[in-house]
């Protein structure tokens, strides 16, 4: 069960981004949010939750910075959680 949960957390935002890209409206929002293809690729590799939320809230105004901040915290928590428990495996 732990491996399934870890796999879901790792591939979840990337899979959601791919499904969003398959939708016609999603593909248009991704083109408007990013000018090229390099930044979304790096975003999906290093900050997948932040990239996904940025594309979803890109045309909105208001609480979009709150959602981006929460997504950034989720990405940073994923990295720091692995660092904190590094001694368990040795």
Distance (Å, whole) CA 85 – CA 64:
32
Q: What is the pLDDT of residues 58-90, one digit of tens each?
A: 877 888 889 999 999 988 887 776 555 566 655
Average pLDDT of the chain, as a whole number:
82
Strands (E), the chain: none
Which residue range(s) make up the domain with 39?
Answer: 35-85
User: Does the predicted TM-score (pTM) go above 0.85?
Assistant: no
Domain assignment present for residue 10? The answer is no
Domain assignment present for residue 77? The answer is yes
Question: Total structural domains in the chain?
Answer: 1
Domain assignment present for residue 40? The answer is yes
């Amino acid at each position: 069960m732990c491996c399934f949960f870890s796999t879901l957390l790792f591939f979840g935002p990337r899979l959601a981004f791919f499904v969003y890209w398959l939708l016609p409206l999603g593909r248009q929002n991704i083109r408007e949010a990013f000018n090229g293809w390099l930044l979304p690729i790096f975003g999906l590799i290093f900050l997948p939750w932040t990239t996904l939320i940025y594309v979803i809230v890109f045309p909105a105004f208001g609480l979009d910075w709150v959602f981006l901040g929460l997504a950034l915290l989720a990405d940073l928590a994923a990295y720091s959680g692995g660092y904190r428990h590094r001694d368990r495996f040795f």
